[in-house]
Amino acid sequence: MLDSLVQQALAIAKYVVPIVLGYAAGWALKRRPPGFLFTAVVVVLVFFVAANAAAVVLRNIGVFLALSILYSLALVFITAVLGSFLNKPETAGAARRPVISLYVAAALAAGLAVGASAEFNYASAIDPLLLFLLFIAGADMAHVEVRLDRSVFLAPAAAFLGAGVVGFLFALAFHITPAVALGMGWYSFTGPYLASAGDAVGGAYGLLVNFLREQFTFLLGPVLARRFSKVGVLAVGGATTMDNTLPLYTALYGSSFALYAFANGVILTALVPVIVPVIHKFYICCM
């Protein structure tokens, strides 16, 4: 029992240590990593995760796409509803998607195509790339200043509540690891982690569901903002609110809201590399 707990702790530390080391390096160097480096690593990771899962996904492509869309929409709407119990709705406007969305979509398609036509141990490249991505994320977080008060924790709490409900339902109905829901939109971590843990199908869902969550946040954010609260709409964006979807929230609620969006993303980004492995291992043990 003790050996098992130690092994689990070491497995989680494997993904926390690179963030801590990256944070220390970013603080010591006083420089943020260049944006193109993060984008390049994400695109390559998405390619390898998609290629690794191609054989399984393409055999059931219709079911895979339908379930991924249903899963991501459930996350968006249930999270918005639950978050809206915490404060009152307010109206707002719209914003554009970042260019990285196009790169990721292209890498996803290319990975599926290459994985279907060429056999290779794609999984072997995922873990080193993932650890490097976490290092870069840590270095970037070293330059983040977040002032925390009680209200800052409302959106992360709503995000976890929504993910818990949806993850449980989809695990029960479709036997998909609930770690997919707890990725909080961070597809470049969730998909690669699950793939490196030996769950190719979970990795594919972790990648596409969380990528779609980000895209639906952009697409539906202005509509949701007319009917749900700021906390609910912010919770929908998950970990992406510190970077990719931050422009959406400043457009919806003004530049003064950027602090809350940024803080929400930072908190969830710090927690996802711990929560996702714990929940996935618990799910595997209880299957």
Q: What is the pLDDT of residues 58-111, one digit of tens each?
A: 888 888 999 999 999 999 999 999 988 876 655 444 444 455 567 878 888 898
pTM equals: 0.79
Band of residue 2 on the pLDDT scale cut at 50, 70, 90: very low
Handedness of CA 93, 245, 75, 232 (dihedral sign): negative
Q: Where are the domains of the chain?
A: 2-286
Quote the pLDDT of residue 87: 65
Q: CA-CA distance, 268 to 183, in Å (whole number)? A: 9
Q: What are phi and psi of 262, to 5 degrees?
A: -65, -45
Q: Which of 286, 270, 279 is nearest to 16 (CA)?
A: 270
> Beta partners for 229?
89
Q: In this structure, are residues 129 and 48 in contact, taking their beta carbons and an 8 Å threshold? A: yes
Q: What is the distance between the alpha carbons of residues 181 and 75, in angstroms, rounded to a whole number? A: 7
H/E stretch holding 274 reads helix 258-286
CA distances from 249 to 85, 236, 241 (A): 19, 11, 8
Question: Is residue 173 scored above 80 in pLDDT?
Answer: yes
